[in-house]
Structures are given as structure tokens and as C-alpha cells.
């Protein structure tokens, strides 16, 4: 009976430190490449967030304000603002961002709710209050990350958000250099580099409940470029016990040779071509020309039905330096001809092997890490619903059960 990895082992973490290196890639900016030959399932990166903040004010009613685990029946309220709560005394001692706490103290959060009446406004305002609470070295590190292109028309303007921060936060708590220009710069970092910590998917779960609990920025993980057929994917385990439940864990989908770029997908792999291109252009400023996009760009609109509409499942809000010509998601020859010989979609094998088939999930399957003796695990884990599938059950017609319990 297989069980999912609740924390990377010490060996996994040590191996992950030497698995990747930063490289300047022609036409793609900075990215991460394999520093050595990597085996399928290996943990490539395990990283704690430099910044962690709630996705909406509503999330503070359901999740710990420090670690974003689900709150117990009798949580510990924040002694300062009373609007946030914690899952344990240790999280209460760690507390949550100072400026956010101060803003929530205005009439138990009424001032913040009035300044940000909708989720679309709350997210960037919650980000700014949390980012401006960071120690100066961490804030500078955040500002060193790449920036997203200007927001689309209709987005909340930076001047209004800056004024809201100034009105909600005590002046003596604001950092030196607090200014409209700094607010604009920070918002660009948020759009281009934050990852969503998702509510785990459960069978029958409505799309309204499948949403982000929180957002996090991981400086090293932000260097992963995008590919529509990635060779790695990321996991988060928000409800696991012990420390590090908000760490990002990135695992290899298959063997990756030394020097090859390691890419993730910035959204669910089943998104349609038009949806992928629109999101990448709006949020990251580039059009993708990976192998998959080159094939799908030739399809008629009514043939582009390999997945759901965009924006509804498993969204990563961002990562740095999204590229436009990446890894094809498989080692040489792995996907030629597709699983069923479908010449019009030569990458069909990728979806058979790496896309979760649980109804409504559409998460990505990655092998569990190799065993301590070096043998492959031969078990795949979904990064959204958490279900496990045996190797022989990944390909239809091989095996029977399809799930590991």
C-alpha cells in the first residue's frame, strides 16, 4: 500500500539542492536547468515561501492566518485584530503580517472590507499589506524578481490601492521608501511570481469551492519557465502535519537529462490553445510557441476540444520569466505518434500518462520519489486531488483498479 510523501525526506531535500542551476536561456530569459541527470519522481525543489498572504478576506474565516491549514472547531483568535484566527498556539505566536493585522483591527476588518469590497480588489490589497510588512532584506529580494507586464484594462489601479494601504496602515508601521512607485513595482512582482495554494480537490466538489486558500511567492521556484507540456510539476500539502505545510515541492515527471531546461505549467494542462495563449499574453507578456502550441495552432476552433475552458481549475498565479519555446514535456521520442497513433495530436501520450482522470479534477500526475534503495516508486500522485495510481494503471488497458487506496 503506497502513501503520498507528506514531507520530502532529508535525502530528498539534500538531493534537491544539487538538481537545478540557474541559466540564461536565449530568447527565454533566466530559467532553471537540470544540473545533473534527473530520474522520474525526484524532488527537484522544496522551498518555503518568502511571502504568504490570504487570497481573500473570506479565507481568514476558514484557514489559519499563519499556516493556512483548515481551522479547528475551536481556533485561537488573534489577540490584536480579533478578525483572524490560528490553528495552534505556535501559529498564534508566529502571528501574521503586521500591517494586515493592523488593517483588520479597524472595526474587526470593516475598514479593509470597505476598501476592498470584491475578491478582485482584495487580493492585491492583501498582497500589499503583507509585502509592506516584510523585513527590508526580504522586501528587497522580492523586488529583485522579474516583473509582469502592466495589468489589463479594468484592473484595480495602483494609485487607488496605494491610497488604501496608506489609509489602513498606521504611518509609523510603513517602511521607508513607501511610495506610489514602490507600490506599482510590488504589484508587478505579485502578478508575475505568485503561486496559488489550492484547496485540495475532492470528488463532486463544485468549482466555486475549488479555489486558492492563499498565495505565496517562492523566489527560486519563480524562476521556472512555462511549457504547455512540462517535464515537472509542483505540489503543495496545506493540511499536512508538522512544519513546512506551505512549502512548494517540485518533482520531475520523467527522466531529465543534464543541461535540459526544467519547466512547469502555469495552469492546468487541459486548457485550450486560445485560453492558454490569452492568459500567457495578458499575465506574462509572451506567446507560447512550444511543440504543443505549434500543433494546436493549426487546428480549427471547433477541433480544439482537448480540455476544459480556461480559468476554472488548478491555477498557478505565476512564475518568473515565462518562456516561449520550451521543453516538449517528454524525453526524445517518448510521445511520437501519440498513444493511439493520432497524427493530428502527437502529444496525446502526455495526457494519457500525466493528466488525472478523476472526473472534474484535471490535476497533473507525477511519480512519487524513488525508493531509498534507488528503485522507482512506480506510483503516480495527482497534485490537485492527491489520488495515487499504480504505474500499470496509468495507461488504459494495463492493470485494473486505477487507484491506490
Grid cell for residue 30: 533566466
Q: What is each CA distance from 106 to 83, 111, 144, 267, 343, in whole angstroms? A: 10, 5, 32, 36, 61
Query: pLDDT value at position 346?
Result: 65
Q: How far apart are CA 375 and CA 116, in angstroms?
A: 52
Distance of CA 126 to the CA centre of its chain: 18
Q: Of 176, 211, 181, 206, nearest to 196 (Cα)?
A: 211
User: Element (H or E) spanning 22, and its range?
Assistant: strand 20-25
Query: pLDDT value at position 345?
Result: 63
Q: How far apart are CA 173 and CA 137, in angstroms?
A: 16
Residue with cell 518533482: 251
Q: What are the residue boundaries of the structural domains of the chain, listed by start? A: 10-49+196-273, 51-195
Confidence tier at 200 by pLDDT (50, 70, 90): confident
**pLDDT(386) > 50:** yes
Residue 176 buriedness (CB in 10 A; 0-12 / 13-18 / 19+) = exposed
82: helix, strand or coil: coil
**pLDDT(341) > 60:** no
Chain segment 139-163, per-residue pLDDT in tens: 999 999 998 888 777 677 899 999 9
Question: Which fold does the domain 10-49+196-273 belong to in CATH?
Answer: Beta-clip-like (2.170.270)
Find the mean pLDDT for residues 38-44.
96
Q: Strand ranges (DSSP E) for 117-244?
A: 194-198, 212-217, 225-226, 232-235
What strands, in cross-sheet order, belong to the sheet with 379-382?
365-367, 379-382, 388-390
Query: pLDDT value at position 306?
Result: 46
**pLDDT(187) > 90:** yes
Rounded to 10 degrees, the C-alpha dihedral 393/399/403/405 comes to: -130
Chain segment 284-329, per-residue pLDDT in tens: 888 999 989 999 998 876 454 444 444 434 445 444 444 444 343 3
**pLDDT(273) > 70:** yes
Contact 146, 193 (CB under 8 A): yes
Query: pLDDT value at position 199?
Result: 87
Find the mean pLDDT for residues 94-112.
81
**pLDDT(339) > 70:** no
Alpha helices in 228-373 (DSSP H): 273-284, 291-296, 348-354
Q: Of 283, 275, 291, nearest to 228 (Cα)?
A: 291
Confidence tier at 105 by pLDDT (50, 70, 90): confident
Of all residues in the chain, what percent carry a pLDDT higher than 90? 56
Amino acid at each position: 500500500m503506497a502513501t503520498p510523501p507528506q514531507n520530502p525526506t532529508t535525502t530528498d531535500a539534500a538531493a534537491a539542492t544539487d538538481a537545478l542551476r540557474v541559466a540564461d536561456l536565449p530568447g527565454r530569459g533566466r530559467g532553471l536547468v537540470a544540473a545533473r541527470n534527473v530520474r522520474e519522481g525526484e524532488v527537484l525543489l522544496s522551498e518555503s515561501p518568502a511571502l504568504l498572504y490570504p487570497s481573500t478576506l473570506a479565507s481568514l474565516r476558514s484557514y489559519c492566518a499563519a499556516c493556512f491549514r483548515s481551522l479547528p472547531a475551536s481556533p485561537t483568535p488573534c489577540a490584536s485584530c480579533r478578525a483572524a484566527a490560528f490553528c495552534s498556539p505556535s501559529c498564534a505566536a508566529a502571528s501574521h503580517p503586521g500591517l494586515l493585522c493592523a488593517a483588520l483591527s479597524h472595526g474587526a476588518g470593516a475598514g479593509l472590507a470597505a476598501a476592498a469590497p470584491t475578491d478582485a480588489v482584495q487580493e492585491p490589497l492583501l498582497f500589499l499589506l503583507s509585502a509592506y510588512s516584510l523585513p527590508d532584506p526580504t522586501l528587497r529580494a522580492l523586488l529583485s524578481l522579474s516583473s509582469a507586464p502592466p495589468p489589463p484594462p479594468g484592473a484595480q489601479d495602483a494609485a487607488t490601492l496605494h491610497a488604501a494601504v496608506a489609509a489602513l496602515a498606521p504611518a509609523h508601521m510603513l517602511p521607508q521608501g513607501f511610495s506610489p512607485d514602490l507600490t506599482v513595482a510590488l504589484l508587478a512582482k505579485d502578478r508575475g511570481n505568485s503561486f496559488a495554494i489550492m484547496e485540495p480537490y475532492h470528488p463532486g466538489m463544485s468549482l466555486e469551492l475549488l479555489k486558492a486558500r492563499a498565495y505565496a511567492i517562492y523566489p527560486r521556484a519563480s524562476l521556472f519557465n512555462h511549457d504547455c507540456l512540462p517535464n515537472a510539476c509542483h505540489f503543495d500539502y496545506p493540511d499536512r502535519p508538522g512544519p513546512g505545510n506551505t512549502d512548494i515541492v517540485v518533482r520531475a515527471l520523467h527522466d531529465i537529462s543534464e543541461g535540459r531546461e526544467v519547466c512547469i505549467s502555469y495552469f492546468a494542462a487541459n486548457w485550450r490553445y486560445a485560453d492558454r495563449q490569452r492568459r500567457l499574453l495578458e499575465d506574462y507578456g509572451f506567446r507560447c510557441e512550444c511543440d504543443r502550441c505549434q500543433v494546436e495552432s493549426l487546428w480549427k476552433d471547433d477541433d480544439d476540444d482537448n480540455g476544459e475552458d480556461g480559468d476554472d481549475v488548478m491555477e498557478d498565479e505565476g512564475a518568473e520569466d515565462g518562456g516561449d519555446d520550451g521543453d516538449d514535456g517528454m524525453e526524445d521520442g517518448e510521445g511520437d505518434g501519440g498513444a493511439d497513433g493520432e497524427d493530428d495530436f502527437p502529444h496525446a501520450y502526455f495526457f494519457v500518462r500525466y493528466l488525472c482522470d478523476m472526473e472534474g479534477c484535471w490535476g497533473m500526475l507525477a511519480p512519487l520519489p524513488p525508493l531509498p534503495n534507488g528503485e522507482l516508486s512506480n506510483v503516480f500522485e495527482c497534485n490537485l486531488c492527491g489520488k495515487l495510481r499504480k504505474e500499470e494503471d496509468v495507461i488504459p488497458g494495463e492493470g485494473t483498479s486505477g487507484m491506490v487506496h
